[in-house]
Structure 1
Amino acid sequence: MNRFPRPLPARRSRAVMAAMVLPLLLPLGACSFDSARKCLPDSGSVSSAEIVGVYKGLRDAENVSVSLETDDERPGASGGRVSVKNWPTGDWYRPELGETFDGTGAWEFRSAGKAGERAAVSFTFTEPRRFGVNDTLDTLMVAADADRIVLYENDDPDICPRFRLESRTS
Protein backbone atom coordinates (compact mmCIF):
# COMPACT_ATOMS: atom_id res chain seq x y z
CA MET A 1 0.00 0.00 0.00
CA ASN A 2 1.32 3.42 -1.03
CA ARG A 3 1.42 5.95 1.81
CA PHE A 4 1.85 8.96 -0.47
CA PRO A 5 -1.05 10.43 -2.46
CA ARG A 6 -0.88 10.18 -6.21
CA PRO A 7 0.23 13.50 -7.84
CA LEU A 8 -2.44 15.51 -9.65
CA PRO A 9 -2.20 15.84 -13.41
CA ALA A 10 -0.33 19.05 -14.39
CA ARG A 11 -3.40 20.75 -15.87
CA ARG A 12 -5.48 20.08 -12.77
CA SER A 13 -2.73 21.14 -10.35
CA ARG A 14 -2.33 24.50 -12.14
CA ALA A 15 -6.08 25.10 -11.91
CA VAL A 16 -6.09 24.20 -8.20
CA MET A 17 -3.12 26.52 -7.59
CA ALA A 18 -4.79 29.39 -9.49
CA ALA A 19 -8.00 28.89 -7.51
CA MET A 20 -6.00 29.14 -4.27
CA VAL A 21 -3.80 32.13 -5.21
CA LEU A 22 -6.20 34.33 -7.21
CA PRO A 23 -8.44 35.29 -4.26
CA LEU A 24 -5.31 36.39 -2.38
CA LEU A 25 -4.11 38.65 -5.21
CA LEU A 26 -7.39 40.33 -6.15
CA PRO A 27 -7.62 42.57 -3.08
CA LEU A 28 -4.07 43.84 -3.68
CA GLY A 29 -4.85 44.93 -7.23
CA ALA A 30 -8.15 46.50 -6.25
CA CYS A 31 -6.62 48.51 -3.42
CA SER A 32 -3.78 49.94 -5.47
CA PHE A 33 -6.04 50.80 -8.42
CA ASP A 34 -8.56 52.50 -6.15
CA SER A 35 -5.84 54.49 -4.38
CA ALA A 36 -4.41 55.65 -7.73
CA ARG A 37 -7.84 56.92 -8.79
CA LYS A 38 -8.37 58.76 -5.49
CA CYS A 39 -4.99 60.51 -5.30
CA LEU A 40 -5.24 62.20 -8.73
CA PRO A 41 -7.96 64.47 -10.07
CA ASP A 42 -10.57 62.65 -12.16
CA SER A 43 -10.58 64.82 -15.27
CA GLY A 44 -7.80 64.71 -17.84
CA SER A 45 -9.24 67.61 -19.84
CA VAL A 46 -6.90 70.57 -19.60
CA SER A 47 -5.32 72.98 -22.10
CA SER A 48 -1.77 74.29 -22.31
CA ALA A 49 -2.92 77.75 -21.17
CA GLU A 50 -4.45 76.24 -18.01
CA ILE A 51 -1.24 74.56 -16.84
CA VAL A 52 0.77 77.79 -16.74
CA GLY A 53 1.75 78.48 -13.13
CA VAL A 54 3.93 77.42 -10.22
CA TYR A 55 3.92 73.82 -8.98
CA LYS A 56 5.11 72.62 -5.59
CA GLY A 57 6.37 69.08 -5.03
CA LEU A 58 4.66 66.45 -2.89
CA ARG A 59 5.87 63.09 -1.56
CA ASP A 60 9.07 62.11 -3.41
CA ALA A 61 9.10 65.54 -5.09
CA GLU A 62 9.23 67.41 -1.77
CA ASN A 63 11.31 70.61 -2.09
CA VAL A 64 10.98 70.51 -5.91
CA SER A 65 9.27 73.38 -7.68
CA VAL A 66 8.45 74.09 -11.32
CA SER A 67 7.36 77.33 -12.92
CA LEU A 68 5.67 77.14 -16.34
CA GLU A 69 5.38 80.42 -18.21
CA THR A 70 4.01 81.29 -21.64
CA ASP A 71 6.36 82.35 -24.39
CA ASP A 72 5.60 85.98 -25.28
CA GLU A 73 7.40 85.53 -28.62
CA ARG A 74 5.05 82.68 -29.65
CA PRO A 75 1.53 83.67 -28.55
CA GLY A 76 -0.93 80.79 -28.72
CA ALA A 77 1.86 78.17 -28.71
CA SER A 78 1.36 75.03 -26.64
CA GLY A 79 4.39 75.61 -24.46
CA GLY A 80 6.79 78.21 -23.17
CA ARG A 81 9.59 78.70 -20.64
CA VAL A 82 10.23 76.44 -17.65
CA SER A 83 12.37 76.97 -14.58
CA VAL A 84 12.95 74.28 -11.97
CA LYS A 85 14.38 74.18 -8.45
CA ASN A 86 15.82 71.03 -6.86
CA TRP A 87 15.07 69.00 -10.02
CA PRO A 88 16.34 65.39 -9.88
CA THR A 89 18.98 64.01 -12.20
CA GLY A 90 18.52 60.68 -13.95
CA ASP A 91 15.82 59.50 -16.34
CA TRP A 92 13.59 58.64 -13.42
CA TYR A 93 12.96 60.86 -10.43
CA ARG A 94 15.69 59.31 -8.29
CA PRO A 95 18.99 61.24 -8.46
CA GLU A 96 21.05 58.84 -10.60
CA LEU A 97 23.67 61.26 -11.85
CA GLY A 98 24.29 63.14 -8.63
CA GLU A 99 22.41 65.78 -6.75
CA THR A 100 19.47 67.87 -7.85
CA PHE A 101 19.85 71.03 -9.92
CA ASP A 102 18.20 74.38 -10.60
CA GLY A 103 17.67 75.04 -14.29
CA THR A 104 15.75 76.62 -17.12
CA GLY A 105 14.55 75.63 -20.54
CA ALA A 106 11.38 75.12 -22.53
CA TRP A 107 8.20 73.11 -22.00
CA GLU A 108 5.76 71.67 -24.51
CA PHE A 109 2.21 70.47 -23.91
CA ARG A 110 0.69 67.34 -25.47
CA SER A 111 -3.09 67.04 -25.07
CA ALA A 112 -4.83 63.76 -24.28
CA GLY A 113 -5.58 61.86 -27.48
CA LYS A 114 -8.11 59.11 -26.77
CA ALA A 115 -10.54 58.62 -23.92
CA GLY A 116 -8.71 57.47 -20.80
CA GLU A 117 -5.39 59.06 -21.83
CA ARG A 118 -3.85 61.93 -19.92
CA ALA A 119 -2.21 65.05 -21.24
CA ALA A 120 1.56 65.41 -20.77
CA VAL A 121 4.16 68.15 -20.50
CA SER A 122 7.74 67.67 -21.74
CA PHE A 123 10.81 69.65 -20.69
CA THR A 124 13.98 70.50 -22.59
CA PHE A 125 16.63 72.00 -20.33
CA THR A 126 19.04 74.58 -21.74
CA GLU A 127 20.64 75.46 -18.39
CA PRO A 128 22.57 73.68 -17.06
CA ARG A 129 23.83 72.35 -20.38
CA ARG A 130 25.18 69.06 -19.02
CA PHE A 131 21.82 67.28 -19.40
CA GLY A 132 20.90 65.46 -22.58
CA VAL A 133 18.03 63.13 -23.41
CA ASN A 134 17.36 60.67 -20.56
CA ASP A 135 19.81 62.42 -18.23
CA THR A 136 16.93 63.81 -16.20
CA LEU A 137 13.19 63.42 -15.83
CA ASP A 138 11.77 65.24 -18.85
CA THR A 139 8.09 64.22 -19.20
CA LEU A 140 5.26 64.43 -16.67
CA MET A 141 1.62 63.46 -17.06
CA VAL A 142 -1.12 66.03 -16.32
CA ALA A 143 -4.29 65.51 -14.28
CA ALA A 144 -6.72 68.32 -13.44
CA ASP A 145 -10.04 69.13 -11.82
CA ALA A 146 -11.70 72.35 -10.67
CA ASP A 147 -9.39 72.70 -7.63
CA ARG A 148 -5.94 71.60 -8.74
CA ILE A 149 -3.61 70.55 -11.51
CA VAL A 150 -1.13 67.75 -10.85
CA LEU A 151 2.02 66.99 -12.83
CA TYR A 152 3.29 63.49 -12.04
CA GLU A 153 5.68 60.73 -13.05
CA ASN A 154 3.64 57.86 -14.45
CA ASP A 155 5.99 55.02 -13.50
CA ASP A 156 3.20 52.62 -12.45
CA PRO A 157 -0.40 53.47 -13.46
CA ASP A 158 -1.83 51.10 -10.82
CA ILE A 159 -0.50 53.00 -7.80
CA CYS A 160 -0.62 56.57 -6.60
CA PRO A 161 2.35 58.46 -8.11
CA ARG A 162 5.02 59.23 -5.54
CA PHE A 163 6.67 61.99 -7.62
CA ARG A 164 4.08 64.68 -8.20
CA LEU A 165 3.78 68.45 -8.23
CA GLU A 166 0.59 70.35 -7.57
CA SER A 167 -0.81 73.77 -8.38
CA ARG A 168 -4.05 75.06 -6.88
CA THR A 169 -6.43 76.60 -9.40
CA SER A 170 -8.71 78.34 -6.92
Structure 2
Amino acid sequence: MYRRRVRLAGLALALVTVGGALTACGSDAFERCVPEAADTAGAAQLAGTFDGELKAKGARLVLTLTPGTVQGGTFTAENWPTGDSSFHAHPGKTFSGSGTWQVQAPVSAKGRTMLVLDFTEAEGFLQGDTLDKLSIGIDAKRTFVYDDPDPDVCPKFRLRLRQG
Protein backbone atom coordinates (compact mmCIF):
# COMPACT_ATOMS: atom_id res chain seq x y z
CA MET A 1 0.00 0.00 0.00
CA TYR A 2 2.83 2.39 0.92
CA ARG A 3 4.63 1.73 -2.40
CA ARG A 4 1.46 2.42 -4.34
CA ARG A 5 0.99 5.78 -2.60
CA VAL A 6 4.60 6.74 -3.28
CA ARG A 7 4.23 5.71 -6.93
CA LEU A 8 0.98 7.69 -7.29
CA ALA A 9 2.51 10.73 -5.63
CA GLY A 10 5.51 10.49 -7.96
CA LEU A 11 3.24 10.18 -10.98
CA ALA A 12 1.17 13.18 -9.90
CA LEU A 13 4.33 15.25 -9.40
CA ALA A 14 5.62 14.23 -12.83
CA LEU A 15 2.33 15.18 -14.49
CA VAL A 16 2.27 18.57 -12.77
CA THR A 17 5.91 19.20 -13.69
CA VAL A 18 5.54 18.13 -17.32
CA GLY A 19 2.19 19.88 -17.71
CA GLY A 20 3.63 23.12 -16.34
CA ALA A 21 6.69 22.90 -18.55
CA LEU A 22 4.59 22.44 -21.67
CA THR A 23 2.07 25.21 -21.04
CA ALA A 24 3.54 27.75 -18.66
CA CYS A 25 6.69 29.75 -18.99
CA GLY A 26 8.19 28.29 -15.85
CA SER A 27 8.42 28.93 -12.16
CA ASP A 28 10.99 29.74 -9.53
CA ALA A 29 11.70 26.01 -9.07
CA PHE A 30 12.65 25.55 -12.73
CA GLU A 31 14.37 27.82 -15.23
CA ARG A 32 11.84 29.81 -17.27
CA CYS A 33 11.73 29.15 -21.02
CA VAL A 34 12.66 32.82 -21.50
CA PRO A 35 13.63 35.39 -18.88
CA GLU A 36 10.76 37.44 -17.50
CA ALA A 37 9.97 40.61 -19.48
CA ALA A 38 12.32 43.40 -18.38
CA ASP A 39 11.18 46.58 -16.68
CA THR A 40 14.37 48.23 -17.89
CA ALA A 41 16.91 47.33 -20.55
CA GLY A 42 19.52 49.28 -22.46
CA ALA A 43 20.51 49.22 -26.09
CA ALA A 44 24.04 48.07 -25.22
CA GLN A 45 22.57 44.89 -23.67
CA LEU A 46 20.85 44.03 -26.96
CA ALA A 47 23.52 44.73 -29.57
CA GLY A 48 24.47 41.50 -31.34
CA THR A 49 23.00 38.60 -33.31
CA PHE A 50 19.77 36.90 -32.27
CA ASP A 51 18.84 33.46 -33.64
CA GLY A 52 15.24 32.27 -33.80
CA GLU A 53 13.81 29.35 -31.87
CA LEU A 54 10.51 27.44 -32.21
CA LYS A 55 8.18 29.44 -34.53
CA ALA A 56 11.06 31.86 -35.18
CA LYS A 57 13.39 29.04 -36.30
CA GLY A 58 15.42 30.27 -39.28
CA ALA A 59 14.89 33.94 -38.42
CA ARG A 60 17.90 36.07 -37.57
CA LEU A 61 18.01 39.60 -36.20
CA VAL A 62 21.26 41.57 -36.03
CA LEU A 63 21.16 44.72 -33.88
CA THR A 64 24.00 47.21 -34.29
CA LEU A 65 24.49 50.27 -32.10
CA THR A 66 24.74 53.62 -33.85
CA PRO A 67 27.56 55.73 -32.34
CA GLY A 68 26.13 58.68 -30.47
CA THR A 69 22.74 57.02 -30.05
CA VAL A 70 21.89 55.87 -26.56
CA GLN A 71 18.75 53.82 -27.16
CA GLY A 72 19.18 52.07 -30.51
CA GLY A 73 20.78 51.77 -33.90
CA THR A 74 20.32 49.85 -37.13
CA PHE A 75 19.24 46.27 -37.76
CA THR A 76 19.01 43.61 -40.41
CA ALA A 77 16.43 40.84 -40.30
CA GLU A 78 16.50 37.57 -42.24
CA ASN A 79 13.55 35.23 -42.71
CA TRP A 80 11.29 37.65 -40.81
CA PRO A 81 7.57 36.77 -40.91
CA THR A 82 4.73 38.82 -42.30
CA GLY A 83 1.28 38.53 -40.84
CA ASP A 84 -1.70 40.54 -39.68
CA SER A 85 -3.46 40.51 -36.33
CA SER A 86 -3.59 36.72 -36.50
CA PHE A 87 0.23 36.66 -36.58
CA HIS A 88 0.47 34.92 -33.23
CA ALA A 89 -1.29 31.81 -34.51
CA HIS A 90 -0.17 31.83 -38.16
CA PRO A 91 2.97 33.72 -39.20
CA GLY A 92 2.99 34.48 -42.92
CA LYS A 93 5.67 34.23 -45.59
CA THR A 94 9.09 35.57 -44.70
CA PHE A 95 11.26 38.37 -46.04
CA SER A 96 14.63 39.98 -45.34
CA GLY A 97 14.87 43.65 -44.50
CA SER A 98 16.58 46.34 -42.51
CA GLY A 99 15.86 49.54 -40.65
CA THR A 100 16.37 51.21 -37.31
CA TRP A 101 15.62 49.98 -33.81
CA GLN A 102 15.23 51.47 -30.39
CA VAL A 103 14.52 50.45 -26.83
CA GLN A 104 11.20 51.90 -25.74
CA ALA A 105 10.74 52.60 -22.04
CA PRO A 106 7.55 51.37 -20.36
CA VAL A 107 4.58 53.65 -21.01
CA SER A 108 2.90 52.79 -17.68
CA ALA A 109 3.82 51.63 -14.20
CA LYS A 110 2.80 48.06 -15.13
CA GLY A 111 4.48 48.27 -18.53
CA ARG A 112 7.71 46.72 -19.72
CA THR A 113 10.62 47.77 -21.90
CA MET A 114 10.15 46.87 -25.57
CA LEU A 115 12.36 46.49 -28.65
CA VAL A 116 10.79 48.49 -31.48
CA LEU A 117 11.80 47.78 -35.10
CA ASP A 118 11.17 50.33 -37.85
CA PHE A 119 11.58 48.63 -41.23
CA THR A 120 12.69 50.82 -44.14
CA GLU A 121 11.14 50.22 -47.52
CA ALA A 122 8.63 47.69 -46.29
CA GLU A 123 8.09 45.84 -49.56
CA GLY A 124 5.74 42.91 -49.96
CA PHE A 125 3.61 43.75 -46.94
CA LEU A 126 1.69 46.68 -45.49
CA GLN A 127 3.09 48.89 -42.75
CA GLY A 128 2.29 47.17 -39.45
CA ASP A 129 1.80 43.82 -41.20
CA THR A 130 4.80 42.26 -39.50
CA LEU A 131 6.06 41.80 -35.98
CA ASP A 132 7.79 45.06 -35.07
CA LYS A 133 7.51 45.20 -31.27
CA LEU A 134 9.13 42.55 -29.06
CA SER A 135 9.42 42.01 -25.32
CA ILE A 136 12.93 41.89 -23.89
CA GLY A 137 13.95 39.23 -21.36
CA ILE A 138 17.36 39.26 -19.70
CA ASP A 139 18.75 37.15 -16.88
CA ALA A 140 22.27 36.29 -15.71
CA LYS A 141 22.80 33.74 -18.52
CA ARG A 142 20.46 34.61 -21.40
CA THR A 143 18.99 37.45 -23.42
CA PHE A 144 15.84 36.97 -25.51
CA VAL A 145 13.52 39.14 -27.58
CA TYR A 146 10.09 37.62 -28.11
CA ASP A 147 6.46 38.05 -29.03
CA ASP A 148 4.51 37.88 -25.78
CA PRO A 149 0.76 37.66 -26.49
CA ASP A 150 0.13 35.75 -23.24
CA PRO A 151 2.61 36.07 -20.34
CA ASP A 152 1.31 32.81 -18.81
CA VAL A 153 2.37 30.77 -21.85
CA CYS A 154 5.92 30.23 -23.05
CA PRO A 155 6.40 32.43 -26.17
CA LYS A 156 6.61 30.45 -29.40
CA PHE A 157 8.18 33.29 -31.43
CA ARG A 158 11.47 34.05 -29.71
CA LEU A 159 15.05 34.87 -30.62
CA ARG A 160 18.07 34.31 -28.40
CA LEU A 161 21.21 36.49 -28.34
CA ARG A 162 24.32 34.55 -29.29
CA GLN A 163 26.87 34.36 -26.52
CA GLY A 164 30.54 35.05 -27.15
Q: Do Structure 1 and Structure 2 share a fold, with TM-score over 0.5?
A: yes
Name 1:66's counterpart in structure 2. 61
Equivalent pair of 1:36/1:158 in contact (CA under 8 Å): no
Q: Give the aligned CA root-mean-square deviation in angstroms.
A: 2.6
Name 2:74's counterpart in structure 1. 81
Equivalent pair of 2:80/2:95 in contact (CA under 8 Å): yes
Percent identical: 33
Name 1:15's counterpart in structure 2. none
1:35–1:123 distance in 2 versus 1, CA, 3 Å: same
Greater Cα radius of gyration, structure 1 or 2: 1
State the alpha-carbon separation in 2 of the partners of residues 36 and 65 from structure 1. 28
TM-score between the two structures when normalised by the length of structure 2: 0.72
Q: Within 5 Å, give how 1:17-166 maps onto structure 2.
A: 31=20, 32-33=23-24, 35=26, 38-42=32-36, 44=38, 45-72=40-67, 75-91=68-84, 92=87, 94-96=90-92, 99-112=93-106, 117-166=111-160
Equivalent pair of 1:141/1:152 in contact (CA under 8 Å): yes
Describe the superposition over 1:88-116 as per-residue Cα deviations: whole angstroms up to 9, x where unpaired.
001425334xx200100111111346676
Q: 1:35, CA displacement in angstroms?
A: 2.7
Q: Which amino acid aligns with 2:75?
A: V
Which ranges in structure 2 are unaligned for 5 or more consecutive residues?
A: 1-15
TM-score between the two structures when normalised by the length of structure 1: 0.69
Count matched residues.
Answer: 138
Query: SS at the partner of 1:103?
Result: strand
Q: Which amino acid aligns with 1:108?
A: Q
Q: 1:60, CA displacement in angstroms?
A: 0.6
